[in-house]
Copies of this chain bind each other. A is one copy, B any other.
Amino acid sequence: MNETIALMKAHRSIRKFAPTAVTDEQLKQILTAAQAASTSSNIQAYSVIGVRSEEKRNRLAELTGNQKHVAEAPLFLVWCADLNRLQAAVRHHKEQADFELTHNTEAFLMATVDTALAAQNAAVAAESLGLGVVYIGGIRNRPQEVSELLKLPKLVYPVFGMCVGIPDQLPDLRPRLPVSVVYHEEAYSDAGFAEGIAAYDATISHYYEVRSGGGKTSRWSQEMTARFRQELLRPHMYDFLISQGFQLD
């Protein structure tokens, strides 16, 4: 196995950071790697907000569900899908100043995917520099307030945050689903799902048991049931996206 694949395989989310700053040179390399990722038809429809200010990090920690690592990490990156810069491009020439961007679900999707591809390169780059990261989906808990804090204009939304810093912990690797239920040859098949989920339930249950010293033994299927039955996750997202000017049609 080569160094790059070994690095990716060693990924774990870091939620405890040393107080050491991320240097400008490290940040530059992270952003260079991010920008090198593929982008749909070269639209590059994302922006990154880098937050180092302690006050803002504290506020973002609150807004993301009181995640103290968001305040603790020396650098917090907010990865945003951005159609606003495309709007600027469409209006760039003087005679086009009143042009309107036409967009829809597809454009929303392109921008969201562009953002994620760039962010994942950034994550791998950060880890290759000895830094640790954790994605923060909680940035979508209170997206309106996040948008105000970071002055996000219409046509920009925060997809996820990312803490970056020197790791001050080395959590166990979390096992993943058996590849047999994730990879399908030639066509989708759920034939192995029952067996694969049962196997993974046992694996995860054991993993929690060891990590918690026996206190936690829940299974993956139970966790997913708790998460995806009855209560809707972040039910405000549709209205928020519409209020930010996105068109989900």
Contact = CB atoms under 8 A, between A and B. Distances in A.
B124 A8 contact: yes
Interface in A218-232: 220-221, 223-225, 227-232
Contacts of A37: 8, 11, 120
A90 B228 contact: yes
Copies of this protein in the assembly total 2
Contacts of A117: 116, 119-120, 135
A2 B233 contact: no
A124 B118 CA distance: 12
B124 A232 contact: no
A122 to B, nearest CB: 9
Contact of A113 (B149, B159, B176): B159
A2 B224 CA distance: 38
B121 A8 contact: yes
Q: A-B pairs with the 7 shortest C-beta distances? A: A116-B116, A120-B120, A4-B128, A106-B234, A92-B221, A89-B224, A151-B187
